[in-house]
Chains A and B, each alone.
Chain A
Amino acid sequence: MSSSIYLNSKDVFLDTVNSKDYIQLDRVSTIYQSLKDSIKKPLKMILLYGKPGTGKSMFLTKLYNDLSSDQEVHIYKTPILDESEFYKTLAQDIFSTKYNGELNFTQFMKIVDSISLDSIPVVLLDEAQLYSDILMEKIRLLSDTRTIKFVITLHKTEKEDLIAKEHFQTRIWESIELENASPIELKIYIQKKLMKANCFDTANMFTNKSVNKIFKLTNGNYRDTNKLLYTLFDIYTSYDENHQLSSIGTTYVPSKLIEMSAIHTGLINA
């Protein structure tokens, strides 16, 4: 195997949120479909939550790409923490109204009332746990008007659970939880990802044993897995360049290399 294969494989696991890199897994596909269905329903808000690295941002990006051709969708991957800026951005993106100076909630509501839209626009807000409680309350009030549909993602921590409780408990909303992958899903994820980039040889190197080892270290977290495998192929590249590949073998991924990658990425505290 040439070093280019390892380089290509390494690049596959770069930690980027690109809807093209989205890997269809049975369970994830089901969840995604239910999310799409939820958007069609007359729900005020949709809450997407899960631990960091479970693919929430990827979901949101994928949803944006899929929906944008059919309906008006706006995605905000980085939270707009300033309240006025938030209203101004929405007024410009949804209602094409450019507002100079400070824009408060009342003024923004006037804009919302004054302009009628053909369809309800969907606003996707990533990392919503970073928004202030006051702003979250305003977003809730805004969704109550049914003029804008919000899909928000939250990290599932105690604090975020509290936010969800306070702001969305009494509202009509759908909540979807994203979880870490199981060992089988993780194997499919790794292999599909590699095969998508035509790295068939490296994809075949992941036996059940090596995937289980990876699962043990990452607990099925997609982000950690990506980081680990990126380092793993980095190590492979180094060995290849030093002509030491024969010492580690290329038929399967040895536990030693996985552990070395984990040490380098900090998953193992050595």
Chain B
Amino acid sequence: MLNTRDLEQRWLRYKIKSYVPYFTILISTVIISAIIYTFLNSDKKETTYIPEKTNKAPTKAPITKEVVLNTPKAPIVKETPEVKSINSKEPPVIISKVQEKKLSNVKDDSLKLAPSLGFMKNIQHATLPYYKEEPTKKHEKISKIVEETQEIEPQESIQEIVVIEKEEEKEEAQQINIKRRDDSNDIRDIIKRFKKNNNPALSLFVAKKYYELGEYHKAYNYALITNQIDRDIDASWIIFTKSLVKLNQKDMAIKTLKKYLESSHSGSAKILLDEIVSGKFK
């Protein structure tokens, strides 16, 4: 008679042995898949990190000064209401100290937040014809924009807002700090991209940003770079001359604008020239 117990034990040992390769394969597959999963996840985090930041930026960037300057003079930004929306977040403070009439224009617009990344993406993919087409559109709108700028933009108000900001800084220092960091991060990011692809839309954006932040020298430099890459970008010439004015180079600005107008028939450039000459734009 057979010793079934012994045979069963031998069979068990054989079974365990036979499953060893399968277990090895299974464990290695699990480990590999876990590594791949974590690797992919880390990639996702990296990609989603920037949008999060940029989303926060508008909410924590209540600079009305920015807004005021942006809306009328940055035609690249198609969604002008977006920018105005930032205003709407902060109006309580501003209204109290800024002329109500001036802000009423801004208030009237719909409330929308402008995520800076989406904006940047648009710029990144924008091609040069985009700018070339703009002037024709501008011709129709420019008068309105100019009116708005005339009403909203006086430097006094900007100064006042800056004062308000400083007061706010004391109260809500954290908020403002975060905002500024995001802006500079945005700019840094865009400068990086610009260095990679030399897209004039990016350098123009940087110029505009610096102009908005009051760093006119940098704004001047980036506008100049943009002009060197493409001479036909209207907005770039405008930032360029505006920066010159801000850098107390009014004569140079007028001269540059005149020269530019010889080769182009930009309505906004003409209006800006008039404003500089008349002293409306200082």
B11 and A242 contacting across the interface, CB-CB below 8 Å: no
Kindly report which residue of chain A lies nearest to residue B2, judged by CB atoms.
A238
Beyond A268-B14, A270-B13, A270-B17, whether A260 also contacts B1 by CB under 8 A is no
In the complex, how many angstroms separate the beta carbon of A247 from the nearest chain B beta carbon?
A: 10
Determine if A259 and B14 form an interchain contact, defined as CB atoms under 8 angstroms apart: yes
Closest B residue to A264 using CB positions: B7
B4 in contact (CB, < 8 A) = yes
The contact of A241 among B1, B8, B10, B13, by CB within 8 Å, is B1
- Give chain A nearest CB distance to B15 CB in angstroms: 8
Q: Are B7 and A263 in contact (CB under 8 A)?
A: yes
A263 to B17, CA, bound (A): 13
Q: Would you give the shortest CB distance from B12 to chain A, in whole angstroms?
A: 9
Would you call A256 and B4 a contact (CB within 8 A)?
A: no
**Chain B proximity of A158: nearest CB distance (Å):** 32
Q: How far is the CB of B208 from chain A (nearest CB, A)?
A: 76
B13 touches A234 (CB 8 A): no
In the complex, are the beta carbons of A242 and B4 less than 8 A apart? yes
Q: Is A142 in contact with chain B by the CB < 8 A criterion?
A: no
Contact with A along B117-160 (1 / 0, CB 8 A): 00000000000000000000000000000000000000000000
The one of A235, A242, A244 that contacts B7, using a Cβ cutoff of 8 Å: A235
A126 to chain B, nearest CB (A): 32
Residue of A nearest to B8 (CB): A260
A contact residues around B15 at 8 Å (CB): 259
Shortest Cβ distance from A256 into B: residue: B11
Q: Fill in one digit per residue for B46-88: 1 if any A CB lies within 8 Å of its CB, else 0.
A: 0000000000000000000000000000000000000000000
A234–B13 alpha-carbon span in the complex (Å): 21
Chain A contact residues, majority secondary structure: helix
Task: Say how far B38's CB is from chain A's closest CB, in angstroms.
Answer: 39
A215 CB to closest chain B CB (Å) equals 18
Interface positions, chain A 80-113, Cβ under 8 Å from B, are none
Considering the chains assembled together, what is the distance between the CA atoms of A268 and B13 in angstroms?
12
Which chain B residues lie closer than 8 Å to A231 at the CB level? 2
Q: Is A237 an interface residue (CB 8 A)?
A: yes
Chain B interface size, as a band, is: 10 to 19
- Contact check, A263 vs B2: say whether CB atoms are below 8 A apart: no
Find A270's partner among B1, B2, B4, B11 (CB 8 Å cutoff): B11
What is the distance, in angstroms, from A178's C-beta to the closest C-beta of chain B? 32
A239 at the interface (CB under 8 A from B): yes
Inter-chain CA distance A256–B2, complex, in Å, is: 15
Of residues 215 to 270 in A, which have CB atoms within 8 Å of B's CB atoms? Answer: 231, 234-235, 237-239, 241-242, 244, 256, 259-260, 263-264, 268, 270
Interface centre among B7, B13, B17 (most CB of A within 10 A): B7
Q: B190-207 toward A: CB 8 Å interface, digit per residue (1/0)?
A: 000000000000000000
* A234, B2: Cβ atoms closer than 8 Å: yes
Report Cα–Cα, A263/B8, bound state, in Å: 10
Which residues of chain A come closer than 8 Å to B14, judged between CB atoms?
A: 259, 263, 268, 270
CA distance A235 to B2 in the complex (A): 6
* Chain A residues, CB < 8 A from B2: 231, 234-235, 238, 264
Closest to B17 in A: A270
A263: B residues at CB distance < 8 A: 7, 10-11, 14
A238 engages B11 (CB within 8 Å): no
**Chain B 1-45 residues near chain A, CB threshold 8 A:** 1-2, 4, 7-8, 10-11, 13-15, 17
Collect the chain A residues with CB atoms within 8 Å of residue B8's CB. 260
Give Cα A268–Cα B2 distance, bound, in whole angstroms: 17
Shortest Cβ distance from residue A229 to the other chain B in the assembled complex, whole angstroms: 14
Q: Which residue of A lies closest to B3 (CB)?
A: A238
Answer whether A235 and B17 are a contact pair too, CB < 8 Å, given A259-B11, A263-B10, A263-B11.
no
A234 to B8 Cα, complex, angstroms? 14
- Minimum C-beta distance from A186 to chain B (A): 22
Which B168-217 residues have C-beta < 8 A from chain A? none
Instruction: A239 to B10: give the CA distance in the assembly, Å.
Output: 16
On chain B, the residues within 8 Å of A237 by CB distance are 1
Q: How far is the CA of A244 from the CA of B8 in the complex (A)?
A: 13
A–B Cβ pairs within 8 angstroms, 30 of them = A231-B2, A234-B1, A234-B2, A235-B4, A235-B7, A237-B1, A238-B1, A238-B2, A239-B4, A241-B1, A242-B4, A244-B4, A256-B11, A259-B11, A260-B4, A260-B7, A260-B8, A260-B10, A260-B11, A263-B7, A263-B10, A263-B11, A263-B14, A264-B2, A264-B7, A268-B14, A270-B10, A270-B13, A270-B14, A270-B17
Known contacts A238-B1, A259-B11, A260-B4, then 17 further A-B pairs from the complex at CB < 8 Å, ordered by chain A residue? A234-B1, A235-B2, A235-B4, A235-B7, A237-B1, A244-B4, A256-B11, A259-B15, A260-B8, A260-B11, A263-B11, A263-B14, A264-B2, A264-B7, A270-B11, A270-B13, A270-B14
Closest 5 CB pairs of A and B: A270-B14, A260-B11, A238-B2, A238-B4, A260-B7
